[in-house]
Amino acid sequence: MQFNIINIPEIESTNIYAKQLIDSGDASEGDVVSTQYQKQGRGQGDNFWESEPGSNLLVSIIFQPKMIQASQQFVLTQLVSIAIVDLIKEYVINEEIKVKWPNDIWINGKKVAGILFQNFVKGSEIEFSIAGIGINVNQKRYYSEAPNPISIIHFTDKSISLNVLLNKLLDNIGTNYWNYKLNQNCQRLKSEYIHNLFRYNEWATYSDGKNFFQGKIIEVDGFGRLTVKLKNGNDKKFGFKEIEFIK
Ligand code: BTN
């Protein structure tokens, strides 16, 4: 996969800019919008993504994943999440690095990276997809109400070059994407994702917004829904925001 980095030092949000490129017909697969500072960095839901100027990785990657059926769209989340986990493992050794479903990356239970996906589906195909990636790298303190932010620098003794990090990230994503494109087999990605998933195959407490219950994550389907085994032996699927991790 060929990447084309478009760096804009200050911007509202790289995801918004990427969407504008798509809307104006100027987007190509592999375009990467990168910035040092976002005035309106967006997180999941209505959340704001905090990042002080020049400290962290803030990028949006445009894919044209025509080979991925809309019903398999979670494969993109899986390949990007794994690429970030592999990247962080290069810098942070001997700590627990996990994907918190669906696509937060955690070190020892604290959030080091988040991904904001926007998929544009036409019929059964994904015409465009934007993967907005924020990785906390060199920022030492956080001021917003984001729960549990942490940076790579908390585990290294020196600050990290954002350019080097971006190139490694794109390498990892490019390799995963290319491999998927070549054999269209999401089994390997699925299995890597699930084996890096926080609380996979462990009993834990969850809430569905009404009740607390005990469950065990056993699978994630093509749409990204979580399958949880319940104590009564039944399996139940949950979409994003339909289940909350308690403890
Ligand atoms: C989350 O809440 O976990 C998702 C955070 C995604 C943040 C990144 S930073 C680059 C890109 N541009 C944005 O406005 N958001 C994403």
State mean pLDDT over 13-25: 98
Residue 94 has a pLDDT of 95
Res. 141: pLDDT tops 90:
yes
Which of ligand 1's atoms lies nearest the C-alpha of 45? Answer: 2
Closest CA to 154 of 196, 108, 115, 197: 108
Q: Is the CB of 18 under 6 A from ligand 1?
A: no
Write out the E strands in the chain: 4-7, 10-11, 31-35, 37-38, 57-63, 97-100, 104-107, 110-122, 125-135, 203-207, 212-220, 226-230, 235-238, 244-245
**Mean pLDDT for all residues in the chain:** 95
Convert the pLDDT of each residue in 205-229 to its tens digit: 999 999 999 999 999 998 899 999 9
State mean pLDDT over 79-102: 97
Tell which one of 116, 145, 240 to mutate to probe ligand 1, the residue whose CB is within 8 A of the most ligand atoms: 116
Q: Is the CB of 13 under 6 A from ligand 1?
A: yes
Residue 159 has a pLDDT of 95
Percentage helix, strand, coil for the chain under 3-state DSSP, each rounded to 5: 25, 35, 40
Higher local confidence (pLDDT), 22 or 240: 22
- Distance (angstroms) between ligand 1 centre and the Cα of 55 equals 15
- Distance (angstroms) between ligand 1 centre and the Cα of 101 equals 16
State mean pLDDT over 161-172: 98
Res. 183: pLDDT tops 90:
no
What confidence tier does 75 reach under pLDDT thresholds 50, 70, 90?
very high
